[in-house]
Amino acid sequence: MEFIKGQKTKLEQLVSNMKITIKSDMNFIKDNIDLDMCCFGVDKDEKLSDDRYFIFYNQLTSPEESIKKFQDRNIFEIDIKLIPPTIKKIVLCATIDGQGTVKDVKNGSLRLMDGEREVGQLKIEGKDYTSEKSIILAEIYERDGIWRLGIVASGFNGGLGDILRNYGGEEIEESELTNLDESVHTKQEDLGKNIYLEKKDRVQKLVLEKAPHLIDLTKKVTITLEKKHMEQTTASVVVILDNSGSMDWQYRNGDIQRTMDKLLPVALMFDDNGELDTWAFASKTKHLSPITLDNIKNYLNEESKGWKKWHIGWGNDEPKVMSELINQYMYNHLPVYVIFLSDGGIYETRKIKKLLIESSNYPIFWQFMGVGGSNYGILEELDEMEGRIVDNANFFSIDNINSLSDEALYEKLLNEFPIWLKEASSKGIIKK
């Protein structure tokens, strides 16, 4: 198998016993260029919090030998069965020493082995890079109990230091190699500008490949994020769709599909998995398939046989879907940004207020968005609502999705979320 940049594969489909050997070779067009390989484990917060899992030429094994490097060779053995539960991802890197850059690579490869059998290879060529001094080659990570291989193949101009700073660490100085504990420190506040630029570039390439009609919207979202200094924000993004009878016309004329087109780029830039988790409600609720670049086109007409066949009633029961969402996300390790679409007719004031007060204890922010309706009731009184630990909700309404520019929409959507992030972090609601 020939791996490509951005590819993700379940490890169980590649190796038989979850024990992987990774080999890397590079030939250079110049002499006197050295290549150093290392890998390190990060925790659930994407932090290099335990430097015993930084494996390089001066520290060849992790404590339980789950990760081993061969002396003087760019070969690593990783036994997933021995990885402790505190380690959720292993990042494999290559760094060019001296005056060279990755552009000087004549040819190279990253090979994944199952014992002596090669199961996949990534080709590395200098023509794909410019002035980068280091590369994240691949990540081996666990999600939902399943370990996967992700091919990254992205370079960093600042060398290993830039990579480590992206994971909360500092570059190891030569004089400090004998004491790794003193040379790598966590930095919670600095994920680094480079990781955002890499992500923006990666997202835009995926959008152009899979849903090119969203590229302009994606660029507008990034402009808003940069304006609000939210480039480093990571959050789970959820949308709740009012599917009550009064919304029928907005589904039929395509307004709600256009709204989904505008909301997915927010998830692509915020979310840890680039998915827009989706719920619908009327008298009952329905947890739909996540919206992604692969299914966004015509999503509402194709998801679960189309919105007309969701069969969740005619009226609107906001508390029911809010309760289900709270139960789903109350212990989420990331902040949760909920976009709640409604055309009004809201009357369950006491129940909604109770749920908002309850959820203020959890990492959940509610962005209510009124679309072409009236009688929004308590949603128009959120700023005066008492009893919450933090202000965890915002509301605005528009006549229809076409009555507001994209820039103005993103400005409204992201107006109060960054304020809540700071307050919820200071109160310990969002775990650092």
Residue 201 inside a domain? The answer is no
Residues 294 and 389 in one domain: yes
- Confidence at residue 26, expressed as pLDDT on a 0 to 100 scale: 82
pLDDT tens-digit map of 41-54: 999 888 887 888 98
For the question of whether the overall pTM of this predicted structure is more than 0.85, the answer is no
Residues 212 and 187 in one domain: no
Residue 140 inside a domain? The answer is yes
> What does the DSSP assignment read for 165-192?
HHTT--PPPGGGTT-HHHH----TT---
Instruction: Extract the tokens encoding 296.
Output: 């966004």
Q: Whole-number mean pLDDT of the chain? A: 87
pLDDT tens-digit map of 137-162: 999 999 888 999 999 888 887 777 77
Domain boundary among 163, 191, 219: 191
Residues 180 and 225 in one domain: no
Summary count for the chain: helices (H), strands (E): 11, 17
Residue 135 inside a domain? The answer is yes
Residues 293 and 343 in one domain: yes
Residues 109 and 231 in one domain: no
* 379 pLDDT above the threshold of 80: yes
Residue 199 inside a domain? The answer is no
Where in the sequence is the domain holding 262, given as residue range(s)? Answer: 206-426
Residues 174 and 213 in one domain: no
Domain boundary among 191, 216, 232: 191
Strand partners, 336: 236, 364
Residue whose token pair is 């050997």: 21
- Confidence at residue 100, expressed as pLDDT on a 0 to 100 scale: 80
> What does the DSSP assignment read for 202-239?
HHHHHHHHH-GGGHHHHHHHHHHHHHTT-TT---EEEE
Instruction: Report the CATH number that the domain containing residue 377 is assigned in CATH.
Output: 3.40.50.410
Rounded Cα distance, 211 and 308, in Å: 24
Residues 167 and 244 in one domain: no
- Confidence at residue 395, expressed as pLDDT on a 0 to 100 scale: 94
pLDDT tens-digit map of 61-101: 998 889 999 876 789 999 999 999 999 999 998 888 767 88
**What percentage of residues in the chain have a pLDDT greater than 90?**
54
The answer to whether the beta carbons of residues 415 and 383 sit under 8 Å apart is no
Q: Could you give the number of structural domains in the chain?
A: 2
Q: Indicate the SS3 state at residue 367.
A: strand
Closest to 94 in 3D by CA, of 8, 6, 28, 9:
28
- Confidence at residue 168, expressed as pLDDT on a 0 to 100 scale: 66
104-113, 212-221, 285-294, 388-397: the lowest-pLDDT one: 104-113
Closest to 262 in 3D by CA, of 326, 211, 312, 311:
211
The answer to whether the beta carbons of residues 407 and 379 sit under 8 Å apart is no
Residues 221 and 244 in one domain: yes
Instruction: Report the CATH number that the domain containing residue 114 is assigned in CATH.
Output: 2.60.60.30
